[in-house]
């Protein structure tokens, strides 16, 4: 039986409407999603760079950092992309031939030219910060110190970077910048706990304290629980909307190299050409030129007239005697404050967790005492150092053939000195020892003062919280898609309703 003409027209009309609506529906979805993705697609990578030279007492390191330009004031985006160790000693060692100080940097500066893209070099800030070695030279002979810095500046200005100058930073600055570096990399300034997994078992610390050990000085910096009695040891920071009252002190002459010089200066006898030294492994020998031993600011207190120019140091590997000798350089008999570390310097009660870096890490890592996942107790650390000191030098040399002899020979002293500094000097005990973590790198960046120095000079850490978008990129896209689908659905319903009425009217007619 043939269908009525009106019925056929009605079905045909409905079919055409649904085809058109379906096509428009699909087209609308594709268009909205495409526009949203294109609109929110991250811009082409725009990277900025910064270079910092750490001119320490024993050597110089060059660090190159990079960060996304569009996130310059966000935390956790700066990362270290290269590190170059300058050949030779620290720049302060070139005081007799200052022109060589600048020339020594050439190899690493040429490497920096290869790392930083050519189109970014002119805008890349270049800094050099000199630490305790140059502080000592400046105290003894300011003129020579200026000549060394001038040599450095003359050479750095030859490179196509935005040279910002070379200067001697204070011990207080060194401690503060190290503290900034540690807490910046851990995301502590914005209470981001994402990196705390780096330190298993450590939760809830507001900020980390910083323990730094170089060749000529050592720094301790942390946020104490109570007021800081000594204004000279107090710093105030306002970072990401929060205020921090920070305790910091730098002990010049208590880096591991200068501490060893103090021991030599105190133990060498005026006429003896041999020094039996308990802080070196038995069987080890070293010739020490003592002509200028007491010209150093750090050894002046032990000044005596020597009738010899060279002394042969012979190791006896006696840890207990070494410990006694080391403890003698810490003066804990005088304190005009409620509490002191040593040499009459105020120090509040230790608070929170600490990251120990630079020579703290290198020495303890060699002695296998820096394992974060399996930390050793203070007593275990003492026993490890005691056993190492008792080993014959020849045995140690055979086991570590690739380690530079100067460093290898001093691990007995360095291990003993570090434990003494932390326990007797700073006041860590068997309980608080667990709060120390010896760290070399955090998230690929070296722990040290250089990153904090660059962040401060480039004003990359704002005093207040930087503005942030209300939604993430993914959240924005999702919201756009859902909203668009709802809009399309509403339009379709209205359209279908209208078409249905029109079709019905045609069918009736």
Residues annotated as catalytic are 174
Structure tokens belonging to residue 52: 């910092």
Q: Residue 249 belongs to what H/E stretch?
A: strand 242-252
Residue 219 labelled as part of a binding site: yes
- 3-class secondary structure per residue, 476-495: HHHHHHHHHHHHHHHHHHHH
Contact 337, 229 (CB under 8 A): yes
User: Which two three-digit tokens encode residue 346?
Assistant: 């105020």
323: which 2 tokens? 């410990």
Q: Give the H/E segment covering residue 502.
A: helix 473-508
Q: Is 216 annotated as a binding residue?
A: yes
CA of residue 428 relative to chain centroid, distance: 22
344 assigned to a ligand binding site:
no
With a CB cutoff of 8 Å and minimum separation 6, the contacts of 391 are 281, 317
Tokens representing residue 163 in the block: 């040279």
Residue 218 among known ligand-binding residues: yes
Q: What angle do CA 147, 151, 154 make, to 5 degrees?
A: 130
Q: What is the total residue count of the chain?
A: 509
Backbone phi, then psi, for 276, in 5-degree steps? -80, 110
Alpha helices in 390-458, H assignment, sequence order: 393-399, 405-420, 450-457
Token pair, residue 11, equals 């079905």
Say if CB 460 and CB 78 are below 8 A apart.
yes
CA distance 171 to 67: 28
Strands 47-55 and 125-130: parallel
**What's the start-to-end Cα distance of the chain, in Å?**
21
Q: What span, in angstroms and rounded, lies between the C-alpha atoms of 90 and 101?
A: 8
> In the β-sheet with 242-252, what is the strand arrangement from edge to edge?
234-239, 242-252, 217-222, 209-213, 354-358, 436-438
Binding site annotation covers 215?
A: yes
Backbone torsions φ then ψ of 437, nearest 5 degrees: -125, 125
Residue identified by tokens 């275990």 is 380
Q: Tokens 């003409």 belong to which residue?
A: 5
Q: What is the dihedral of CA 266, 271, 274, 278, to 10 degrees?
A: -20
- The binding site comprises 215-219
- The binding site for ATP comprises 215-219
């Amino acid at each position: 039986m043939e269908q009525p003409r009106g019925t056929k027209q009605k079905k045909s009309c409905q079919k055409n409407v649904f085809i058109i609506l379906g096509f428009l529906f699909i087209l609308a979805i594709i268009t909205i999603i495409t526009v949203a993705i294109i609109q929110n697609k991250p811009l082409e990578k725009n990277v900025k760079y910064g270079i910092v030279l750490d001119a320490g007492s024993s050597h110089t390191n060059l660090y190159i950092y990079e960060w996304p330009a569009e996130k310059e004031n966000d935390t956790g985006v700066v990362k270290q992309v290269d590190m170059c160790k300058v050949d030779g000693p620290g720049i302060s060692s070139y005081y007799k031939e200052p022109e060589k100080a600048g020339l020594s940097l050439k190899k690493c500066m040429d490497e920096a030219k290869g790392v930083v893209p050519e189109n970014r070099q002119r805008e890349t800030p270049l800094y050099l910060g000199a630490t305790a070695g140059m502080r000592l030279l400046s105290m003894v002979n300011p003129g020579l110190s200026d000549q060394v810095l001038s040599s450095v500046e003359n050479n750095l200005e030859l490179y196509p970077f935005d040279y910002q100058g070379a200067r001697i930073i204070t011990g207080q600055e060194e401690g503060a910048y190290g503290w900034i570096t540690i807490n910046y990399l851990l995301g502590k300034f914005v209470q981001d706990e994402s990196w705390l997994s780096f330190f298993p078992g450590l939760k809830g610390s507001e900020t980390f304290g910083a323990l730094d050990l170089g060749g000529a000085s050592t720094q301790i910096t942390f946020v104490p629980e109570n007021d800081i009695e000594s204004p000279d040891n107090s710093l105030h920071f306002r970072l990401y909307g929060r205020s921090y009252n920070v305790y910091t002190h730098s002990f010049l002459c208590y880096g591991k190299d200068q501490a060893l010089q103090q021991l030599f200066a105190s133990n060498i006898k005026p006429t003896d050409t041999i020094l039996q030294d308990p802080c070196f492994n038995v069987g080890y020998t070293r010739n020490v030129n003592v002509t200028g031993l007491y010209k150093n600011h750090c050894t002046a207190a032990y000044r005596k007239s020597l009738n010899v120019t060279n002394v042969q140091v012979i190791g006896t590997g006696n840890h207990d005697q070494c410990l006694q000798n080391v403890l003698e350089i810490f003066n804990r008999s005088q304190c005009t404050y409620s509490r002191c570390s040593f040499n009459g310097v105020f120090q509040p009660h230790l608070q929170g967790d600490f990251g120990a870096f630079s020579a703290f890490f290198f020495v303890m890592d060699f002695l296998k005492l820096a394992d974060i996942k399996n930390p050793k107790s203070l007593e275990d650390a003492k026993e490890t150092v005691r056993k190492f000191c008792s080993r014959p030098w020849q045995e140690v040399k055979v086991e570590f053939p690739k380690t530079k002899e100067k460093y290898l020979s001093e691990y007995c002293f360095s291990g003993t000195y570090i434990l003494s500094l932390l326990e007797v000097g700073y006041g860590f005990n068997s309980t608080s020892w667990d709060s120390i973590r010896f760290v070399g790198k955090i998230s690929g960046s070296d722990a040290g003062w250089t990153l904090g120095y660059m962040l401060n000079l480039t004003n990359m850490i704002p005093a207040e919280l930087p503005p942030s978008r209300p939604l993430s990129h993914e959240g924005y896209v999702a919201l756009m898609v859902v909203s668009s689908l709802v809009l399309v659905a509403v339009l379709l319903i209205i359209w279908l309703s209208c078409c249905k009425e029109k079709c019905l009217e045609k069918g009736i007619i």
